[in-house]
Amino acid sequence: MDMNSLNSRQKQEDGIFMPVCDQYTGEPINPGPEAPGFMVRGVAARSVQMKLAEAQQAAKQAAKAKKDGKTDDDIISAMLERAHEGHIDAAMKYIIEARNMTIGEEPVTTPEQIRAVLDMNFPDMQIEKDEDGKPMMTAVKGDDGKTVMVPKFEIINKTWAMQVIAAAEDQRAFLGKRPNG
């Protein structure tokens, strides 16, 4: 057996095509051979510790904002903007090129244009609610070491930057073994 057919690292370096999908339904925006999308390099799944550290940092920022007298809306806006920029920065590391995309009449080819496309949609975040419809809260430690209660949030859509990151982390896709269902 030719082991090159199982060389996951090389296949991840070569990349796979990821069609751009609707951020809420997950359906390809324009299916077919001319589908807009990105060639994406693969990476080993990011560590749980990295994701936990990211979430912990966001919670600390929310606690600081709460202590500084910011409203929940101010906190949500600031957290979303930071998360969105972080997702775009991460996605840019995985994108090889854009395919079948234009901005107006201009083909999307440069990193700046790719970044502009990724910035065209934004995370939609809501405060999680319990079965009684009351906001769920979570305790976080502020920079001063004091515990502060902040709302617990959930993102309800999958931006294009988030789609790129998910495609890059899908190890099975690079070997043609996407799960069914």
Per-residue pLDDT reduced to its tens digit, 2-18: 787 767 777 777 888 99
Give the integer Cα–Cα distance in Å for 41 and 164.
9
* pLDDT tens digits, 94-140: 899 999 999 999 999 999 999 999 999 998 878 888 999 888 888 87
Give the integer Cα–Cα distance in Å for 116 and 68.
32
Predicted pLDDT of residue 86? 85
Q: Are 159 and 84 in contact (CB under 8 A)?
A: yes
Q: Are 28 and 21 in contact (CB under 8 A)?
A: yes
Predicted pLDDT of residue 99? 97
Residue ranges per domain, the chain?
Answer: 7-124+157-175
3-state secondary structure of 125: strand
